[in-house]
Structure 1
Amino acid sequence: MSVQHSSRATTTVVDGPVSRGSLWSRFWQNDAPGYLFLLPWLIGFFGLTVGPMVTSFYLSFTDFDLLTSPDWVGTDNYVRMLTNDPKFWTSMRVTMFFVVFSVPLKLCFALAVAMLLNRGIRGLPLYRALFYLPSLLGASVAIAILWRQIFSGDGLVNQVLALVGIQGPSWISNPNYSLWTLIVLSIWQFGSPMIIFLAGLRQIPSDMYEAASLDGASKWRQFVKITLPLLTPVVFFNAIIQTIEAFKSFTPAFIISGGTGNPINSTLFYTLYLYQEAFGFFRMGYASALAWVLLALVGLFTAFSFLTSKYWVHYDE
């Protein structure tokens, strides 16, 4: 009996409440190093992402010019935006036109190039690097300046057209063509989705094409019935990423139009108009409201894409 009593007493001591000092000691030994490694990211996340977002949301309900204290105006900024700001609707129209045309054309061109590279040509790594390079350089100021020179009245495009007796317009200063020059620049940056398409094509089993060929299916029918259905997850991913990037496009329009959106606001992207309100007229409160409307627009598009993806995106089980 005494041995059992001693055993119970020992168990009670071991399983009893742990002191606060031992908890801190265990934390510093097991968890603290991980949190210390995460600390730079946490500081950046809360200090450079969450903090500015919360501040911007508050400022969107104020009249703020960077020089005086914010003046609370409620929803006046949003009401003015939707009912009494023609430039808001102009920038929205220009941006939607850019998104609707640039994203599908870029994805189609990227898929076509990826299918050519997927045929096993020599020097594939070199071609892959060369085609990816525009995606790295396309959003830079230097490329935007170069693009402006190429499509100017006496630029390279018109010089080539003059060789065949065609007198081209000034593509940049003509409102009928200026936005299309930016769309062409966006299509030229096809490298990133092309690499992703190429990776997706490599995952499609070759025996499926061999079986379709034995059944007499043409190349086009193989593309429609095999390639596209199996590639829909990659198409969906690329469409989401490229659409968000198109909504955020700023540098080319800013450089080519000189920051004005001209000619006749034909290149007035939404982000460019937001920049004008914030740093041109110092209407930071109104610019914050514009930013949150853009965030809501991108969020609605992304949510709609995910809700409808179940009808056309096919995943392997």
Structure 2
Amino acid sequence: MTTTAPAAAKVPAALRRQRRRRNLRTLAFLSPWLIGFSVFFAYPLGATVYYSFTRYDLINPPVWVGTRNWNYVLNDYPALWQALRNTLWLVVVMVTLRVIFGLALGMLAIRLKSGAGLFRTLSYLPYLAPPVAATIGFAFLLNPGTGPVNNLLGDAGLPQPGWFTDPDWSKPALTLLALWGIGDLLVIFTASLLDVPREQYEAAELDGVGPWQKFRYVTWPAITPVVLFAVVTGVIQTMQYYTQAMVAGKVASGIIGNSGQPFEPGYPQGTTLTLPQLVYQEGFSTFNTGAACVISLILFAIAMAFTFVLLRRRSGLLDDD
């Protein structure tokens, strides 16, 4: 009895020391992520929430004002709702068309018998173009007066839209620009399509199924995780849409490069105004940091809601039922 009791007491102590060492080792491996998460996400998010309840101009100390910024943005700031409508339009239309177009190009790339490498290279190159340069180039191509696109449409007897100068065509023009830089989705869709087992296609052909049935029952179940990834990342990126819309509006209005002229984001008639533009305008043009933080939190909440819905409904996308 006297010899077994100390031995029994030593076992839990040894297990506790071993568990403590294992936890410390795990924490050491997690520490880079924990530091990055704390510095680049948790702290900025907490600071944004705090500043949304203050009057702060980036110079003087913040002053607590309660919900005054929230009331101003939600009730007395009509540009918010216009920017929200534009942003949601871009999310629904642009992301959908990019996924469909990228998948179609990927399927074409794996079916080409010759020149597949050249096709993939030429399709990917536009994605490497800097956003500002690509937008300026597109604004030149789609210039309603002198652009080659409208000249070709006129020669063919087709309507000549105003593109970036027309409120009805400004967002479709931005969508065309996004489709032109489809190289990122082309790469991931091509890789996922090449990863589909060839044996399944051969078995489907032996069963006499057509091309649509092969895509529906063989290709689609294999690539739906990649499609879901493309949709979720596309939504998040489009919710942060800023550069292309801002540059296109400046070029179309004719004031790009002239810093002496004021520019109101959203030209023409607010149709290219997005939520990130409002964040920049309030935070760094009018130095109303509190309102900018409110808009940032609204943008964050909408992006999280989209992601949550897409991930919750992934079973409907991935299952065959």
Q: TM-score interval w.r.t. the shorter chain?
A: 0.7 to 0.9
Map 1:149-228 onto structure 2 (within 5 A): 149-152=140-143, 153-166=145-158, 168-228=160-220
Structure 1: runs of 5 or more not aligned: 1-7
1:289 aligns with 2:281: no
Corresponding residue for residue 3 of structure 1: none
User: Secondary structure of 2:71's match?
Assistant: helix
Deviation at 1:41, TM superposition (A): 7.4
Map 1:1-317 onto structure 2 (within 5 A): 46-119=38-111, 121-137=113-129, 140-152=131-143, 153-166=145-158, 168-258=160-250, 260-314=265-319
Measure the CA separation in 2 of the matches of 1:310 and 1:41.
Answer: 29
Measure the CA separation in 1 of the matches of 2:203 and 2:34.
Answer: 53
Name the count of aligned residue pairs. 301
The TM-score with structure 1 as length reference comes to 0.82
Deviation at 1:86, TM superposition (A): 1.2
86-95 or 141-150, larger mean C-alpha shift: 141-150
Measure the CA separation in 2 of the matches of 1:308 and 1:78.
Answer: 31
Q: 1:227 to 1:292 in 2, by over 3 A?
A: same
Deviation at 1:251, TM superposition (A): 0.4
Report if aligned partners of 1:60, 1:77 keep a CA contact under 8 Å in 2: yes
Cα deviations across residues 253-284 of structure 1 (Å, max 9, x unaligned)? Answer: 11111262111101001111221111221111
Cα deviations across residues 126-158 of structure 1 (Å, max 9, x unaligned)? Answer: 4333322222326x2111111221112311212
Deviation at 1:92, TM superposition (A): 0.3
Cα deviations across residues 174-214 of structure 1 (Å, max 9, x unaligned)? Answer: 10111111111112221112211111112212222222222
- Following superposition, which runs of at least 4 residues in structure 1 exceed 6 angstroms of deviation? 37-43
Tell me the amino acid that sits aligned with residue 139 of structure 2.
Answer: R
Corresponding residue for residue 4 of structure 1: none
Tell me the amino acid that sits aligned with residue 288 of structure 1.
Answer: C
User: Secondary structure of 2:241's match?
Assistant: coil
Please give the root-mean-square deviation of Cα atoms over the aligned residues, in Å: 3.2
Report if aligned partners of 1:232, 1:314 keep a CA contact under 8 Å in 2: no
User: Secondary structure of 1:261's match?
Assistant: coil
Tell me the amino acid that sits aligned with residue 163 of structure 1.
Answer: D
Cα deviations across residues 48-76 of structure 1 (Å, max 9, x unaligned)? Answer: 44433322221111111223221212222
Deviation at 1:225, TM superposition (A): 2.3
Corresponding residue for residue 259 of structure 2: none
Measure the CA separation in 2 of the matches of 1:242 and 1:167.
Answer: 31
User: Secondary structure of 2:273's match?
Assistant: coil
Q: 1:86 to 1:202 in 2, by over 3 A?
A: same
Measure the CA separation in 2 of the matches of 1:172 and 1:187.
Answer: 16
Tell me the amino acid that sits aligned with residue 219 of structure 1.
Answer: P
Cα deviations across residues 83-125 of structure 1 (Å, max 9, x unaligned)? Answer: 2221100000011111111111111111111111112534444
Measure the CA separation in 1 of the matches of 2:71 and 2:221.
Answer: 44
Structure 2: runs of 5 or more not aligned: 251-262
Q: 1:201 to 1:73 in 2, by over 3 A?
A: same
Q: Flag the structure with larger Rg.
A: 1
Deviation at 1:164, TM superposition (A): 2.7
